[in-house]
């Protein structure tokens, strides 16, 4: 069972979700990705009585949660925001008429360590080129990390080296499925605060907030994973404390975050998860649903 950290209990299903059982829809293998939370969030949102139209994810990364909610028909529309121009290049391409060109690049790439190094050593010549290089890097670098300092896999899974996570047919299937959903998806490259402000007064909106974990003791881990990781976490709580719609945040379990959530009237629950080293740890789910359910 979940451990309560405040008087206000949220009704989350606290069993550890096996991530392999969740349908993957994103082309990214995203560090800190929340695919494992998709079943929990979908069950929780289904129980909300408030009419819900749009899900806004301003720290989209691999966008596993909003894409999952759209796929399950829990919302009609999703709005994705992301500051990293490389990650943004992929999403812009996927939801544009260039998607087919990107898919072709993926299908025809002759995968080998030398070819990956050669491809990534030259600057991108177009939007499609950039999107392709980002996906290639994401799927051949250790932990899918795109931040400076990341390095190419050596052994990979089962000794398959750089090809361990390169599944062209599967990737292309996902890209085509996403392209077919494009009329229900808005992607906006830019800062999360501006995007949140745009929807802050709307009641039929839910925010899914999964920022880099750089508050309190999580500082170093979050910095290593993303190019953009510095964030004014207190300002984020201040802003979301004014939301008219549902707010659902995920954070690392640290006293600084618990303090900010409590002082802004949010409810908190710890949920168990397994990290990449298969160790059990807890993350926080933080919500305002008590006021708006
Ligand atoms: C924890 S990751 C999100 C992972 C995502 N939920 C998933 O399942 O794949 C946080 C993301 O926020 C982005 N980011 C960092 N600062 C940002 C900002 N100020 N505005 C928008 N995005 C930002 C990072 O580039 C990173 O992709």
- Testing ligand 1's pocket by substitution, the residue of 23, 24, 60 carrying the most ligand atoms inside 8 A of its CB is 60
Q: What is the pLDDT along the chain (293 residues), one digit of tens a residue?
A: 333 444 444 445 556 777 777 889 999 999 999 999 999 999 889 988 778 999 999 999 999 999 999 999 999 999 999 999 999 999 999 999 999 999 999 999 999 999 999 999 999 999 999 999 999 999 999 999 998 889 998 877 667 789 999 999 999 999 999 999 999 999 999 999 999 999 999 999 999 999 999 887 656 677 889 999 899 999 999 999 999 999 999 999 999 999 999 999 999 999 888 776 777 888 999 999 853 33
58 C-alpha vs ligand 1 centroid, how far in Å?
A: 7
Give the pLDDT of residue 4: 40
Structure tokens at 253: 């379990």
**The token pair that represents 57 in the structure block:** 């994810």
Residue whose CB lies within 8 A of the most ligand 1 atoms, among 34, 212, 283, for a mutation test: 212
Distance between the two ends of the chain, CA-based, in angstroms? 23
Which atom of ligand 1 is the closest one to the Cα of 28? 9
Q: What is the pLDDT of residue 21?
A: 77
Question: Are the C-beta atoms of 222 and 263 separated by less than 8 Å?
Answer: no
pLDDT at 293: 35
Ligand 1 atom, smallest distance to 191 CA: 20
For ligand 1, the distance from its centroid to the CA atom of residue 82, given in whole angstroms, is 6
Ligand 1 centroid to residue 158 C-alpha, Å: 30
By C-alpha distance, which of 121, 30, 39, 141 is closest to 80?
Answer: 30
pLDDT of residue 13: 54
Listed in sequence order, the residues at least 6 apart from 97 whose beta carbon sits closer than 8 Å to its beta carbon are none
Look up the pTM and report it. Answer: 0.92
Give residue 47's pLDDT. 86
Ligand 1: atom nearest CA of 81 is 21
Pocket of ligand 1 (CB under 6 A): 30, 32-34, 58-59, 61-65, 81-84, 87, 191-192, 210-212, 226, 228, 231
Ligand 1 pocket mutation pick from 89, 193, 211, 257 by most atoms within 8 angstroms of CB: 211
Strands ordered across the beta sheet of 280-287: 185-189, 77-82, 54-57, 205-209, 246-252, 280-287, 267-274
Distance from the CA of 159 to the center of ligand 1, in angstroms? 31
Query: Per the structure block, which two tokens stand in for 222?
Result: 């979050």
Cα–ligand 1 centroid distance for 77 (angstroms)? 19
Between the CA of 110 and the centroid of ligand 1 the distance, in Å, is: 31
Structure tokens at 14: 């606290």
Instruction: Name residue, tokens 């494009």.
Output: 182
């Amino acid at each position: 069972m979940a451990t309560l950290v405040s008087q206000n209990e949220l009704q989350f299903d606290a069993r550890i979700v096996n991530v392999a059982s969740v349908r993957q829809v994103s082309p990214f293998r995203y560090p800190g990705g929340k695919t494992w939370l998709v079943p929990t969030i979908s069950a929780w949102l289904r129980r909300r009585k408030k009419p819900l139209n749009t899900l806004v994810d301003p720290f989209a990364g691999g966008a596993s949660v909003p894409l999952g909610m759209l796929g399950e028909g829990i919302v009609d529309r999703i709005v994705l925001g992301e500051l990293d121009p490389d990650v943004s290049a992929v999403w812009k391409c996927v939801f544009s008429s260039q998607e087919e060109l990107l898919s072709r690049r993926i299908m025809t790439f002759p995968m080998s360590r030398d070819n990956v190094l050669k491809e990534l050593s030259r600057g991108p010549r177009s939007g499609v080129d950039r999107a392709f290089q980002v996906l290639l890097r994401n799927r051949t670098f250790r932990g899918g990390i795109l931040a400076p300092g990341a390095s190419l896999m050596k052994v990979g899974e089962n000794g398959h080296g750089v090809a361990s996570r390169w599944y062209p047919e599967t990737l292309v299937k996902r890209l085509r499925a996403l392209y077919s959903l494009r009329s229900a998806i808005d992607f906006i490259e830019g800062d999360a605060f501006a995007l949140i402000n745009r929807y802050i007064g709307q009641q039929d909106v839910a925010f899914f907030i999964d920022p880099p974990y750089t508050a309190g003791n999580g500082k170093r881990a979050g910095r290593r994973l993303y190019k953009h990781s510095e964030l004014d976490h207190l300002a984020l709580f201040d802003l979301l404390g004014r939301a008219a719609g549902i707010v659902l945040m995920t954070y690392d379990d640290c006293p600084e975050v618990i303090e900010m959530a409590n002082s802004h009237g949010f409810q908190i629950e710890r949920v168990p998860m397994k990290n990449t080293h298969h160790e059990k740890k807890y993350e926080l789910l933080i919500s305002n649903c008590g006021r708006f359910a």
